[in-house]
Structure 1
Amino acid sequence: MNKKPIYKKWWFWLGIIVVIGLIGNMGDKEAKPSATASEVATQPKAETVSTEQTTEDKEQAEAEKKAAEKQKAKEEAEAAELAKKEAEANSVPREHKAALKSAQTYAEIMHMSKKGIYEQLTSEYGEKFDKEAAQYAIDNIQVDWKENALKSAQNYAESMNMSDSGIYDQLTSEYGEKFTKEEAQYAIDNLE
């Protein structure tokens, strides 16, 4: 909010006029202490200014109070959400947590696809997690699958010198990486 400089406010100039009038009256000691016409004219304005400032102050205080209440409500909602997530995390079975950690490792180190990780977690030759634990892991893992497809494609391009179409087929194959067509296409489009 841009504030006007003080000398551009009307009440500043009104105050200057009043002060000059008071100084002028102090010099004339023999003058009667009756109010001059200019002082009488400015007094109601001064009261109006005071009333306006008080109203503005009240409005500002109310706005600040509402903002503080809104901030407090937001913080309480965030705290409640955090408590809910912690409660959910504490209620998750140990095996589900273990499946999630394994899935995270496969995603970060081996850059596997979602389907590939699920099958590795449930395979009798792999991790041997039950389907519920594996599905929990897949539902809760935080991975950019397109980036995993790209990293896997880069590995094929560098280590095996494969063509783009060969890499695409390997990424989407049921016997290969098992990425979706969209993820594989992203990888091919961004391969260097």
Structure 2
Amino acid sequence: MSKNNTRGFAKVGVVGGIAAFAFAACLGLTACDNSSTGGTATSGTAAASSEVAAPTEAATPDVPAEYTSALKKAQTYSDTMHMSKQGIYDQLVSQNGEKFSAEAAQYAVDNLDADYNANALAKAKTYQDQMSMSPEAIRDQLTSDYGEKFTQEEADYAIAHLND
């Protein structure tokens, strides 16, 4: 095997490992919602389960199942990964992500109960605490098309409240 092929496998391994971890984390969180099957969630996951289940309870019967699934997945991304609206949409439609239709993803982000200012702040605090980034570097990461994809207003809110 050539050296170039080895590097290609390593790249696929790293990307695949990250994707598998993210998938497993999201799968584990959504598996905690046993309310529709009559199961009970453990006390540690009860709050997360009720938050994730909330959008489907309000869904009307005429909403397609794909849309409801996209909304539930979007709620998980918002609650656990503190993602931006654009970041959630991109993940829902990604061929390397959830592979929902554009219509289902748009329905999900339009009907999602999310506080994007709070999500931006949570991401900003993570960058500050774990990566020791400056406020301006955090702002750039929050608004970058290659980063978190928050709006400028959401990033400004996060930076203004970073030390609260």
Question: 1:106 is aligned with what amino acid?
Answer: Y
Q: TM-score, normalised by structure 1?
A: 0.54
How many residues are treated as equivalent by the alignment?
107
Aligned twin of 1:126: 97
Aligned twin of 1:148: 119
Change (3 A) 1:105 1:161: same
Greater helix fraction, Structure 1 or Structure 2 = 1
Aligned twin of 1:64: none
Structure 2 contact 70–105 (Cα < 8 Å) conserved: yes
Aligned twin of 2:151: 180
Question: 1:116 is aligned with what amino acid?
Answer: G
Partner SS state of residue 146, structure 2: coil
The structure 2 residue matched to 1:102, chosen from 55, 62, 73, is 73
Structure 1, gaps ≥5 residues long: 1-85
CA distance in 2, matches of 1:178, 1:115: 6
Q: Which has the higher contact order (CA 8 A, sep 6+)?
A: 2
CA RMSD in angstroms, aligned pairs only: 1.4
Partner SS state of residue 158, structure 1: helix
Partner SS state of residue 133, structure 2: coil
- The alignment-based identity, stated in percent, is 59
Partner SS state of residue 157, structure 1: helix
Q: Deviations over 1:106-129 (max 9, x none)?
A: 000000000000000000000000
Aligned twin of 2:7: none
Matched, 1:89 2:60: yes
Structure 2, gaps ≥5 residues long: 1-56
Q: Deviations over 1:149-178 (max 9, x none)?
A: 000000100000000000000000000000
Aligned twin of 1:170: 141
Matched, 1:116 2:90: no
